[in-house]
Amino acid sequence: MAHLQDKVAVVTGGSRGIGRAIALALGQAGARVVVTCRQQRDAAEEVVETLRQKGGDGRVYQFDVADFEATAAAFADVVAEFGRLDILISNAGVRRDQLLVRMHPEDWDVVLRTNLVGMFNCSRAAARTMLRQRWGRIIAITSIAGLFGNAGQTNYAASKAGMVGFTKALAKELAPRDITVNAVAPGLIETDMTRSLSEAQRQAFLEHIPSGRFGTPEDVAACVLFLASDAARYITGEVISVSGGLTL
């Protein structure tokens, strides 16, 4: 599979979990992949090394997506190094769960700045290059929490819902230049968070998933890979849930 041959992709927060799976999938499809991280550089380097072992090509860029200037500089460096930028996966995100009446303002701010402002910073930087190229793919990793809400996650749900609205508005702006903008909303995925659940908690969640299992990061990556390809060229402004039917 090499339908993304010579495309350049940036995967923010690509050092683990869903981001890692997306980076590997894009790389195996032929893209040159920039894996970004804020702190976990060793983990990001491991992703790039795995890519290279599989015959792919990748780099690690370390910066905070919530920092406008640092993000703009990093994306300028990507274009200077590779000569183009074709695919942005806006995946970097954080959670600071708490009931609203107990939530500290800094917990609200850090989640909104990383998840939503980070998407603005990255998309703005990437769109400038994509507009010149007259081709691009921007894919946001949102969450079913942004579609249905979740108690104890007003900050996270607000940020993810904001990403959905941002996706739809930006899709209208960029469509005339052959740039699609879509979002993927994962449900319960096997990550560090779900692995920390007790067996009773897992069973309680599984009762609400028609497919009867948690998803894998690779399930999400497969959807992203499709949206990044030419096969999805007439799909824009959409939100696709990868949830095993949890949203039904």
DSSP element (H, E) containing 75 = helix 68-82
Contact 127, 136 (CB under 8 A): yes
d(CA 129, CA 135): 9
Closest among 5, 1, 2, 8 to 133, alpha carbons compared: 8
Strands 136-141 and 179-186: parallel
3-state secondary structure of 20: helix
Q: Which of 108, 120, 156, 166 is catalytic?
A: 156
* Active-site residue flag, 156: yes
Partners of residue 76 on adjacent β-strands: none
Order of strands, sheet of 8-11, starting from the edge strand that comes earlier in the sequence? 57-62, 32-37, 8-11, 87-90, 136-141, 179-186, 239-242
Quote the distance between the C-alpha of residue 145 and its chain's center: 15
Q: Tokens in use for 177?
A: 């230049």
Query: Could you give the residue numbers annotated as active site?
Result: 156
